[in-house]
């Protein structure tokens, strides 16, 4: 039942940026007078391994009941009364299971709901076929392992979601779709966009990318964090989406947070590779031309994305069982705290290594020690410190649960028989061993990928209208500013004086975007942030420091450069033992980068 094409803006609230996002999102968004959709992004790449483990333990699982219990259940009556639609990828590995739970919850409350599902993303049944066909990781070329694949999902697009809404769904639950599709799907449904409306689809993808991470666009993790009021009651974003593909980003009244050119620009380039080729299943987007304008307090207009035909391949993600991990977090207090922590780590590893050897369990696959509080992540740029309070972090990985669990128990004994000043951290109450998953990303042809749409158990006819045909040769590199003359009186300032920065992980790489606070700052920023200088800045993070690789891309529309740092994530978000496996702090590192500018310009700062 495709509805009449909407003329006015469509109001979409971004209610979740991850499966563990805050319960305050929905009640805050419901304060808005105009709200057509609530969208929930649950499926960060790291979540798929968790859902696979849950489903392995219980075939009826594969999703988190939190979506019903915490996020929509308490507000379902208000959502239904106001005619607000819900779209979420919270179905994980079992969208039909979550849909059934939603129907049951609504029925018990006397609420009539039509619940649709979008599936077809789960390719675990084709794992052997794809492996034997030579499927390899799209980033580093490694083959998919012969054993241990726990999930295998292709990223679907937005048109199946639109079809579910066309059929009359109140709630649409998906598995693995590209995050922005949760927003693009409703816009296709509302505005009647076709698969050939490339520029509009690109604009809708921009809106989706801005909304998909919740409060990250309304001041969460913003560089100028002191300017963001009331974190405790931060408002989650609302996109006023228009038929021409533009969007005005705002937030509900009487909520905390901030919507500014800076907060929006940071989110626009978050977890982006080449801004001129942001690839989703329905369209290839050029973000480099996007314009951002402050219209008023907490109102920012975003427009100007360009679209190209959809890619001929789709991305897929496999999660692979990678053994077991035990993590120790041990407070060490007093004189020579760092030395005590280092000796204690060595002693614990030595002790348990001997114990697992005696039991014939085999060696560790990884041991890792970090003394938190000593700037361990800063490498050669760490300041000499002599803290009297540190947190000793020890990670051990092993193929067998028994070995990891043994370390988990033994590390607690240090409080009684090792360093003076050893105390207790809450981690000892956590499981002593947790399963590890690696991730492999690959590309797959569209043939045989068949999205399925169901509405309350009844199939909805769906034929994917997308006609792929993206040609990378059509991309013309964005113009780079001329290298500036800083003059004989040049001075050095930290990047933070000239730019905002945001970073995030993607598999085994991360990106950092530096967005100029004023357009005239960009040439100086770009001249300093060369691929070589940035590689040197992050050198201690690379798996192979001697062959460090950084790719630099320009985004002149928002006066930014985007830096992609390869093979520097310690194995990716699920495997990395580091303090910052999600690369959230990499932008903070870069904000100290020295930039040479004319003295006259520095005087204006």
DSSP annotation string for 124-193: GGGHHHHHHTT-B-TTT-PBPPSS-EEEEEE-B-SHHHHHHHHTT-SEEEESSB-TTHHHHHHHHHHH--
Treating both helix axes as pointing N-terminal to C-terminal, what angle do 261-268 and 198-211 enclose, rounded to 10 degrees? 110
Residues 177 and 118: their CA atoms lie apart, in Å, by 9
The maximal CA–CA distance of the chain, rounded, in angstroms, is: 75
**603 vs 583: CA distance, rounded Å:** 33
Phi/psi-derived region of residue 202, left when phi > 0, alpha when psi is between -120 and 50, beta in every other case:
alpha
Taking the C-alpha atoms of residue 14 and residue 38, their distance in angstroms, rounded to an integer, is: 6
CATH of domain 318-439: 3.30.300
Q: Specify whether the CB–CB gap between 169 and 116 falls below 8 A.
A: yes
C-beta atoms surrounding 454 within 10 Å: 21
DSSP conformation letters of 86-116: EEE-TTTT-HHHHHHHHHHHHHHTT----EE
* For the chain, percent of residues with pLDDT exceeding 70: 98
CA 122/CA 316 separation, integer angstroms: 10
Range list of β-strands (E), 206-267? 238-241, 247-250
* pLDDT in the model for residue 3: 47
Q: What is the pLDDT of residues 277-323, one digit of tens each?
A: 999 999 999 999 999 999 999 999 999 999 999 999 999 999 999 99
Between CA 225 and CA 414 the distance in angstroms is 38
- The tens digit of pLDDT for each residue in 115-174 reads 999 999 999 999 999 988 888 999 888 888 888 999 999 999 999 999 999 999 999 999
| Residue whose C-alpha is closest to residue 408's, from 443, 387, 390, 434 | 434
Q: With contact defined as beta carbons under 8 Å apart, do 28 and 235 qualify?
A: yes
What is the overall mean pLDDT for the chain?
95
Contact 216, 17 (CB under 8 A): yes
Name which of 418, 395, 420, 423 is nearest 408 in CA terms. Answer: 395
Quote the pTM value: 0.95
Q: From CA 128, how far away is CA 352, in angstroms rounded?
A: 38
Report d(CA 458, CA 12) in Å as an integer: 27
Phi, psi of 418 (to 5 degrees): -135, -130
DSSP 69: I
Q: Running DSSP on this structure, what letter comes out for residue 252? A: -
Tell me the Ramachandran region of residue 83: left when phi exceeds 0, alpha when psi lies from -120 to 50, beta otherwise. left
Q: Which pLDDT value is given to residue 1?
A: 42
How far apart are alpha carbons 329 and 390 in whole angstroms?
A: 10
Long-range contacts of 25-30 (CB under 8 A, 24+ apart): 25/71, 25/214, 25/215, 25/236, 26/71, 26/72, 26/74, 26/75, 26/79, 27/75, 28/233, 28/235, 28/236, 28/252, 28/255, 29/236, 29/238, 29/252, 30/75, 30/78, 30/79, 30/82, 30/252
Containing H/E element for 303? strand 299-303
The helix (H) or strand (E) run that includes residue 565 is: strand 560-565
pLDDT at position 365? 98
Residues lower than pLDDT 70 in the chain: 1-4, 426-431
Beta strands across the sheet bearing 452-455:
291-296, 299-303, 247-250, 238-241, 10-16, 37-40, 85-88, 171-174, 115-119, 452-455, 458-460
Alpha carbons 386 and 603: distance in angstroms, whole number: 36
Query: Would you list the domain boundaries of the chain?
Result: 10-140+151-270+278-312+446-460, 318-439, 491-602
Residue with tokens 């790719």: 551
Q: How far apart are the first and last CA of the chain?
A: 57
User: What per-residue confidence (pLDDT) applies to 224?
Assistant: 98
Question: How is residue 430 annotated by DSSP?
Answer: S
């Amino acid at each position: 039942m495709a509805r009449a094409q909407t003329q006015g803006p469509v109001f979409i609230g971004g209610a979740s940026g991850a499966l563990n996002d805050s319960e305050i999102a929905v009640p805050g968004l419901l304060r808005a007078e105009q709200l057509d959709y609530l969208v929930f992004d649950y499926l960060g790449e790291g979540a798929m391994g968790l859902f696979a483990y849950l489903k392995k333990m219980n075939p009826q699982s594969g999703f988190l009941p939190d979506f019903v219990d915490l996020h929509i259940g308490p507000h379902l009556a208000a959502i239904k009364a106001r005619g607000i639609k819900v779209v979420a990828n919270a179905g994980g590995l079992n969208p039909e299971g979550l849909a059934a739970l939603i129907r049951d919850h609504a029925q018990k409350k006397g609420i009539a709901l039509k619940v649709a599902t979008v599936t077809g993303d789960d390719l675990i049944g084709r794992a052997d076929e794809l492996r034997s066909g030579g499927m390899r990781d799209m980033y580093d070329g490694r083959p998919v392992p012969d054993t241990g694949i726990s999930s295998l999902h292709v990223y679907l697009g937005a048109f199946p979601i639109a079809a579910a809404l066309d059929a009359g769904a109140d709630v649409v639950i998906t598995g693995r779709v590209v995050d922005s599709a949760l927003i693009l799907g409703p816009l296709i449904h509302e505005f009647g966009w076709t698969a050939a409306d490339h520029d509009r689809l690109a604009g809708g993808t921009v809106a989706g990318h801005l909304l998909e991470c919740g409060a990250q666009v309304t001041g969460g993790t913003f560089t100028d964090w002191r300017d963001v009021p009331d974190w405790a009651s931060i408002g989650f974003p609302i996109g006023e989406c228009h038929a021409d593909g533009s969007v005005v980003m705002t937030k509900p009244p009487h909520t905390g947070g901030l919507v500014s050119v800076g907060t929006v620009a940071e989110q626009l380039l978050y977890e982006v590779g080449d801004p001129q080729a942001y690839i989703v299943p329905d369209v290839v987007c050029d973000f480099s031309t996007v314009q951002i304008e402050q219209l008023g307090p907490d109102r920012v207009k975003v427009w100007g994305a360009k679209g190209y035909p959809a890619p001929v391949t789709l991305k897929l993600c496999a999660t692979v069982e990678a053994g077991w991990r035990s993590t120790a977090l041990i407070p060490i207090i007093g004189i020579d705290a760092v030395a005590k922590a280092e000796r204690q780590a060595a002693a614990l590893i030595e002790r348990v290594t001997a114990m697992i050897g005696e039991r014939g369990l085999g060696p560790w696959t990884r041991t890792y020690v970090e003394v938190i509080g000593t700037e361990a992540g800063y490498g050669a740029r760490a300041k000499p410190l002599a803290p009297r309070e540190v947190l000793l972090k020890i990670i051990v990985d092993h193929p067998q649960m028994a070995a990891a669990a043994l370390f988990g128990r033994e590390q607690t004994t240090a409080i009684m028989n090792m360093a003076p000043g050893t105390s207790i951290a809450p981690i000892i109450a956590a499981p002593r061993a947790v399963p590890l998953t690696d991730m492999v990303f690959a590309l797959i042809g569209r043939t045989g990928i068949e999205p399925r749409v169901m509405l309350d158990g009844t199939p909805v006819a769906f034929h994917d209208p997308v006609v792929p045909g993206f040609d990378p040769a059509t991309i013309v590199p964005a113009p780079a500013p001329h290298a500036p003359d800083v003059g004989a009186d040049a001075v050095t300032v930290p990047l933070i004086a000239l730019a905002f920065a945001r970073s995030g992980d993607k598999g085994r790489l991360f990106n950092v975007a530096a967005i100029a606070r004023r357009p005239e700052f960009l040439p100086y920023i770009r001249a300093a942030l060369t691929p070589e200088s940035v590689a040197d800045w992050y050198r201690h993070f690379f798996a192979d420091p001697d062959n460090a690789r950084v790719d630099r891309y320009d985004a002149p529309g928002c006066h930014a450069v985007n830096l992609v740092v390869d093979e520097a994530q310690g194995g990716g978000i699920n495997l990395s033992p580091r303090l910052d496996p999600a690369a959230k702090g990499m932008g903070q590192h870069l904000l100290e980068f020295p930039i040479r500018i004319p003295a006259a310009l520095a005087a204006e700062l």
